[in-house]
């Protein structure tokens, strides 16, 4: 059974989070980090950011909804990680049509290199090990 690139990306990011322990403890910390990245990357500040709590069967950590008029982020309060925030921002930059394709993975790696530089070599090693296409 062939594993999709998206499944590989989720696996890699899970291992990355476990290795670098980038959890943000408070919603305010997540908002501050996200706004800092968006400002530096010259992306409009979202019109709405929602935090939700899902302790049941949901594995959703973050989601982005956007078009020309609205940018909205949703983050699970038990999943406030810098890597999750950077993942969602990479979708904004790459465009949702790329999904978890090469462009998305490249942009995510560049965001990691810029905002969590100590994690960058580990991410590249995980990309290589999991045969993720990113450049």
For residue 44, the domain's CATH number is 3.30.2010
In a domain, 134, yes or no: no
Domain count of the chain? 1
In a domain, 135, yes or no: no
Whole-structure pTM value? 0.84
At 23-68, the pLDDT tens digits run 887 888 888 888 899 889 887 766 666 665 555 444 455 666 665 5
Reduce the DSSP state of residue 65 to 3 states and report it. strand
In a domain, 39, yes or no: yes
- Domain range for residue 20? 5-129
Asked if 79 and 106 count as a contact pair (C-beta separation under 8 A), the reply is: no
Instruction: Name the helix (H) or strand (E) containing 89.
Output: helix 82-94
Best CA proximity match to 48, nearest among 60, 64, 62, 59? 64
% helix / strand / coil in the chain, to the nearest 5? Answer: 55, 15, 30
């Amino acid at each position: 059974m062939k594993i999709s690139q998206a499944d590989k990306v989720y696996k890699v990011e899970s291992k990355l989070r476990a290795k670098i322990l980038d959890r943000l403890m408070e919603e305010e910390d997540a908002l501050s980090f996200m706004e800092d990245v968006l400002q530096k990357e010259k992306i409009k500040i979202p019109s709405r950011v929602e935090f939700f709590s899902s302790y049941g069967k949901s594995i959703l950590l973050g989601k982005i909804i956007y078009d020309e008029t609205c940018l909205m982020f949703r983050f699970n309060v038990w999943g406030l990680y810098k890597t999750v925030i950077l993942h969602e921002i990479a979708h904004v930059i790459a465009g949702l049509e790329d999904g978890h394709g090469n462009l998305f993975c490249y942009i995510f790696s560049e965001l990691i290199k810029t905002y969590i530089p100590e994690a960058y070599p580990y991410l590249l090693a995980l990309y290589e090990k999991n045969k993720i296409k990113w450049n």
